[in-house]
Amino acid sequence: MKRGPLEKGEIESTAAPQEERNSEGQRIWRLGTLRYTFSGLAFLFLCLLIGDFVSNFKDRATLPMGQILMLQWKASDFTLSLLFGSIPNIILLGLGPVVGAYSDRFRSRWGRRIPFILLTLPFIVLSLSMMAFTPWLGSILDQRMGAQSPGLESCRILIFGFFWILFEVGTLTTTNIFYTLINDVVPRTLIGRFYGLFRGVNLLAGVLFNYFLIGKVEQHYREIFIGMGLLYGIGMLWMCLKIKEGEYESVPQGEERGVRKILHTFKEYFKLCFSDRGFILIFIAIAVAQVGTVPLNTFGLFYAKSLGISIDLYGKYLAMTYVISFVLAYGIGAATDYFHPFRVFLVIVTLSVCNNIWGWFFATTPLCFGIAFIGHGVFAGALGAATIAIGQRIFPRAYYGIFFTVSAAITAIGCIILPMLIGAFLDYSGHQYRCLFLIAAGLTFCGGGLLAKAYRKWDLTQDRVE
């Protein structure tokens, strides 16, 4: 494949470095100017995992809570797909690459990533608190509009939608920056195993919410929203105050200002990311496979309700998904370190396609749906872990923010279009939810095929195109 502006020396080798020890005989891990002993590395992991837990507890809880409330207010499938699928990805597409590139070039005494997390923190806490009072605010809006009101339920949907969008702006910005922060502070030789722990904590948050709280959402959503805001604010603030980023190379200061600077940034995106066909193929493969998880992630709750499954039982299915994934998480992370993320990704794709085809044929009863849905959740999570490991392994560290957010933006394009199409199809077809498994299988298969093509042309020993 043709090499782009990233020459061979700029793509870091993943060969294991020679072991280093300090004067006291303790092993030392390095990343740039950062040096860690075992105790320092353990404290770093603890800080990141606390941030991961509070962030993912928030994320795991808000989506099903929002879906449950929207069901109470009789929102259509198309409205649900727009609010929970397409709009967040439009935000990601617009903000992700800009924030990623700007954070790559940003320098401060707090580092280049942590200031962005701190900046978004109050917006996330505020939006969670306001969503807790949506029914009350919707009633006020309905009364103020009088005869012009679209109805009480529509007013509540409008109020919730406004604060949901504010919440997504903060959350998507923080999530992208959090992944780039990990890339900046965790040694490369441990990245797969760290993501195994990272995913384990992520899943623990999902188990706790879905097993203990999801059945209480309809009666106690206000307390849960406010509690999540406080937990997230305290935990993420503590993480940011305890983690220290290393020193970075200075960024040349050009003469561009304002619009010219923005245009120059986007020109840099295309030059760095899209002139190398190997990276382009990987971007597309990741996007297609990730989009394959969208149908059931977006409409799984409504599929379950159509089969007469209670919200409490649906939560137990999700909790079982997370328990199984928790058991597998560290093993998947270690496998990406030892066998390479490409190989792990392709194995997971194969298993996921088989599961979804089975679901398409047989998921017509609560039991069969539960089996297929749990399998889908386990493989979708494993696929996400392998996808992140691919980026951490092959994207150049100096430009990781750009590469990660551009890859996420390409995925977001599919996530913008697909939920709206599926939502319209479900409304038109009389809610034929079983087709969700077939759509998921087809997209996952195509993503795996594209990555298999890249795999044949990639030098796995140096993580570069041959």
Radius of gyration of the chain (CA): 22
**Does residue 9 lie in a domain region?**
no
| Tokens matching residue 270 | 């295309």
Q: Tell me what pLDDT residue 459 has.
A: 59
Max mean pLDDT range (254-263, 313-322, 327-336, 436-445): 436-445
Between the CA of residue 141 and those of 39, 102, 138, 157, what are the distances in Å?
54, 38, 5, 11
**Does residue 7 lie in a domain region?**
no
* Helix pair angle (38-72, 191-208), 10° resolution: 40
**Does residue 15 lie in a domain region?**
no
When mean pLDDT is compared across 143-157, 276-290, 452-466, the lowest value belongs to: 452-466
Q: Tell me what pLDDT residue 279 has.
A: 85
Nearest CA among 352, 466, 460 for reference residue 14 = 460
Mean pLDDT calculated for residue range 238-267: 71
Between the CA of residue 23 and those of 20, 28, 29, 444, what are the distances in Å?
10, 10, 14, 51
**Does residue 159 lie in a domain region?**
yes
User: In the predicted model, what is the mean pLDDT of the chain?
Assistant: 84
**Does residue 19 lie in a domain region?**
no
Confidence of residue 270 (pLDDT cuts 50, 70, 90): low
Between the CA of residue 203 and those of 187, 377, 386, 456, what are the distances in Å?
23, 11, 15, 33
Confidence of residue 171 (pLDDT cuts 50, 70, 90): very high
| pLDDT reading at 12 higher than 60 | no
Between the CA of residue 248 and those of 44, 106, 460, what are the distances in Å?
19, 10, 27
| pLDDT reading at 8 higher than 80 | no
Q: 285: domain CATH number? A: 1.20.1250.20
**Does residue 113 lie in a domain region?**
yes
Q: Tell me what pLDDT residue 141 has.
A: 92
What sign does the CA torsion over 267, 268, 270, 276 have? Answer: positive
| pLDDT reading at 183 higher than 70 | yes
Q: How many domains does the chain have?
A: 1
Confidence of residue 94 (pLDDT cuts 50, 70, 90): confident
Mean pLDDT calculated for residue range 390-395: 81
What sign does the CA torsion over 142, 145, 150, 155 have? Answer: negative
d(CA 133, CA 225): 9
Q: Which tens digit of pLDDT belongs to each residue from 422-463? A: 888 888 888 889 999 999 999 999 999 998 888 777 655 555
Q: What is the dihedral of CA 245, 251, 255, 259, to 10 degrees?
A: -50
Count, residues in the chain = 466
**Does residue 185 lie in a domain region?**
yes
Q: Tell me what pLDDT residue 236 has.
A: 96
Q: How far apart are the first and last CA of the chain?
A: 7
d(CA 71, CA 75): 6
Place of tokens 């384990």: 200
Judged by DSSP in three states, 272 sits in helix
The sheet carrying 27-31 orders its strands as 20-21, 27-31, 34-36
When mean pLDDT is compared across 148-157, 246-255, 384-393, the lowest value belongs to: 246-255
**Does residue 269 lie in a domain region?**
no
What sign does the CA torsion over 54, 60, 66, 69 have? Answer: negative
Mean pLDDT calculated for residue range 84-93: 84
Environment class of 337 (CB within 10 Å of its CB; exposed 0-12, middle 13-18, buried 19+): buried
Mean pLDDT calculated for residue range 316-340: 85
Judged by DSSP in three states, 19 sits in coil
| pLDDT reading at 186 higher than 60 | yes
Which of the pair, 251 or 41, is modelled with greater confidence? 41
What range does the domain containing 60 cover? Answer: 37-248+276-465
Q: Tell me what pLDDT residue 170 has.
A: 93
